[in-house]
Chains A and B, each alone.
Chain A
């Protein structure tokens, strides 16, 4: 263990929540140290207080809502809570820097990325000459492996990919070589391959800049890959801490054990024989997005490139791949939100690729979607019941019958029928996703398309929702297309897997075969990048 003075020492930190919530403290009595060249991971689910801790260190807590009621936070010996506002501005970005979870919203959308990186230097080192700043920006962009820094620094955040944005965030945080880097779920929004690169980058930079990292995460795979020390939090309190080998392999606290057990791992469904007539057959589906720039330049993006597959009744087909591989375009095209350039979509033998008007609306009843973000996919001003009966009533069911069906569905997805009278904001993320599933089922579809339906959920909730999908499918018998970037999740729920890359299916086969004997190089690359790939902890009995 490092015996020198820690970069960050948090002692007995407590942060109070406003009165009237389910608990009095967001964080209670937390202590932890971060030393040089050390990555400390704070793990927990939503509401565990891990992000509040990170914000407290940066002194970014909304002070009217969350108050520090006890304890000290020392950055290189200086008490963060006691210094003046001017001093805290000096420290932020300079001695401590933060990398936020959502790289799209965390960057200023109307500022060029080079300027955003340079800003850190302009604030803290106003005496440095402009061309020196520029040179440093280019150097930093190179450090985080951004391609073509000279050109890229002139673009805006929306013009680059999620992984590149996250690298910009990291470059910004590293600009002045701060002693402490706080990373709040730095890789959650990223694809596995990008995630693996970024985590490697962290390790590399840590050594180069001699800094310490406080990483907030919910992903034990990430912990297994990078942590030097693990702190597990639950409802604002530390339940367990220690070296990763110890915490991951011999978790002492039941909560840690439950969390580790909930981490999806490769596990396969029993093979089933799909001999029946396919409910859906897709043949040579091609979709191109066209856009025209301000100067009249035309851009074409091939989102789907001769995609073909069949889906048997009651079967689950997983679509995996990185962002931009065409997964969501495929889902949208199957629901006919996009009209394909060419190819056929045969639903029970009838081609629906060119339907329009009423016939298209009728067809949509048979294929329903569950979206990624349960917070955004329910109308916040409508009661759950209204959302659930609207579709069936539109398609000719009487109101009374629709309500009866809605009540039945609520029980089926494990919610109380009384919840129909409530609004979406009264539910947790997992509950909302259950509502979304009920809403899709209300149409009695033959096919459900789930687009990253569990990605926004905590691991334990994720496991529950996956189990729900399984149970419902067994009971009702719909076929499912399950779009996900998480291979482990895909292995749990899918019978067959289609791996997509740049709009093409590069590999298609039974789940176990695809993951255990991948034929395509790209599939192998994806599997190798799964975080915690080597960590195969047998959950304690």
Chain B
């Protein structure tokens, strides 16, 4: 197991390097000049040129690239052009709301979508099955911001059950945090739930046709136990795979959801940085998201080995 983890961590290094290169090129090659934005509307060409030189933007691309890599290797992600604060600190400050939001979305999903999908499979072709599948189509097709605004309109504005927007840290006031987090978490979780419920259903459906499920019944297991003890653990590998992939989906969802509910998280930071062409921050964020994704994949690989003893690397 330790070997597996070490191997995977080692493999993450070249992956991150490739990501870093792509991030670097993507921003340099996209239209728009940060020096222009920074200089303001009334600055003359000399001022823009001076800012460009200060930022090193006038040097050859390759020089900029290696300089940047060297900085990153030393843990320096640069200074935000806009707020003049180190990027790393900026991300760290905004991390909490995003992690809390993402985590609660994942928990909601796993706790609700997996059982729903499993029950839909077990009651294949019944009204429960059709209901779950219909909801999942809705979850897939309606964009997160529409759902977010609808929830705000009905549950916050009209019914006044939840606050409209804003963030309270669960470490300061757990109860208020719960009220503030409820709508954004549900908004974020919905697509994810649709996906997981669907995959769970098809995966469990397949397993329910297997011989060992018949064996489980022949032993005298009641249906509930057949489903939870025998079918679901065997259906787990594809479900875990999709949960892992879904976390990528969650990252884009975080950006939209945080904007809708005005949460001061990494998602909002991303949007602000992109709009302002704040290169160092955007680069830092993309690397950060890539790192999370690589980390999640590592966890998924470990989870495989735990749920299915036949899998060995």
Q: Which residues of A contact B1 (CB under 8 A)?
A: 294-295
Is B3 a contact partner of A156 (Cβ separation < 8 A)? no
When A110-B307, A294-B1, A294-B3 are in contact, do A97 and B221 touch as well, CB less than 8 Å? Answer: no
Most chain B CB inside 10 Å of its own CB: which residue of A90, A108, A172: A108
- The A55-89 residues at the B interface (CB cut-off 8 A) are 58, 60, 86, 89
When A110-B233, A123-B221 are in contact, do A294 and B4 touch as well, CB less than 8 Å? Answer: yes
A58 to B220, CA, bound (A): 10
Closest A residue to B313 by beta carbon equals A294
Chain A proximity of B89: nearest CB distance (Å): 40
Is B220 a contact partner of A90 (Cβ separation < 8 A)? yes
Most chain A CB inside 10 Å of its own CB: which residue of B211, B215, B230, B308: B215
Is A92 a contact partner of B211 (Cβ separation < 8 A)? no
- The B181-215 residues at the A interface (CB cut-off 8 A) are 210-212, 214-215
Is A293 a contact partner of B234 (Cβ separation < 8 A)? no
- The B230-244 residues at the A interface (CB cut-off 8 A) are 230, 233-234, 236
A506 within 8 A of B: no
Is B305 a contact partner of A108 (Cβ separation < 8 A)? no
- The B214-234 residues at the A interface (CB cut-off 8 A) are 214-222, 225, 230, 233-234
Chain A proximity of B68: nearest CB distance (Å): 38
When A108-B212, A294-B4 are in contact, do A89 and B220 touch as well, CB less than 8 Å? Answer: yes
Chain A proximity of B223: nearest CB distance (Å): 8
Segment of A98-106, A262-270, A402-410, A421-429 in the binding face: A98-106
- The B19-68 residues at the A interface (CB cut-off 8 A) are none
Chain A proximity of B198: nearest CB distance (Å): 22
Q: Which residues of A contact B310 (CB under 8 A)?
A: 109-110, 156, 158
B312 within 8 A of A: yes
Is B3 a contact partner of A123 (Cβ separation < 8 A)? no
A97 contact from B218, B308, B309, Cβ within 8 A: B218
Chain B proximity of A393: nearest CB distance (Å): 35
When A108-B230, A294-B1, A294-B3 are in contact, do A60 and B216 touch as well, CB less than 8 Å? Answer: no
Is B214 a contact partner of A106 (Cβ separation < 8 A)? yes
Closest A residue to B214 by beta carbon equals A60
Closest A residue to B3 by beta carbon equals A296
A94 within 8 A of B: yes
Is B220 a contact partner of A94 (Cβ separation < 8 A)? yes
Q: Which residues of B contact A89 (CB under 8 A)?
A: 220-222
A119 within 8 A of B: yes
A107 within 8 A of B: yes
Chain A proximity of B212: nearest CB distance (Å): 5
Q: Which residues of B contact A201 (CB under 8 A)?
A: none
Most chain B CB inside 10 Å of its own CB: which residue of A109, A124, A158: A109
A98 contact from B218, B305, B309, B313, Cβ within 8 A: B218
A89 to B219, CA, bound (A): 8
Closest B residue to A292 by beta carbon equals B312
A93 within 8 A of B: yes
A120 within 8 A of B: yes
Q: Which residues of A contact B313 (CB under 8 A)?
A: 294
A538 to B222, CA, bound (A): 50
- The A291-339 residues at the B interface (CB cut-off 8 A) are 293-296
Q: Which residues of B contact A156 (CB under 8 A)?
A: 309-310
Is A294 a contact partner of B222 (Cβ separation < 8 A)? no
A90 to B189, CA, bound (A): 41
A100 contact from B215, B225, B233, B308, Cβ within 8 A: B215
Is B217 a contact partner of A60 (Cβ separation < 8 A)? yes
Is B218 a contact partner of A58 (Cβ separation < 8 A)? yes
Chain B proximity of A173: nearest CB distance (Å): 8
A107 to B230, CA, bound (A): 10
Q: Which residues of A contact B308 (CB under 8 A)?
A: 109-110
A281 within 8 A of B: no
- The A128-166 residues at the B interface (CB cut-off 8 A) are 156, 158
8 inter-chain pairs at a CB distance below 8 angstroms, sorted by A residue, are A86-B222, A89-B221, A97-B218, A98-B215, A100-B214, A105-B212, A106-B214, A107-B215
> What are the 9 A-B residue pairs with the smallest beta carbon separation, nearest first?
A93-B220, A92-B220, A105-B211, A93-B219, A98-B218, A106-B211, A108-B212, A156-B309, A106-B215
Taking A92-B217, A105-B210, A108-B216 as given, write out 9 further A-B residue pairs in contact, using a Cβ cutoff of 8 Å, ordered by the A residue number. A60-B214, A92-B219, A93-B220, A100-B211, A100-B218, A105-B212, A106-B214, A110-B310, A156-B310
Residues of A whose CB lies within 8 Å of any CB of B are: 58, 60, 86, 89-94, 97-98, 100, 102, 105-111, 119-120, 123-124, 156, 158, 169, 172, 293-296
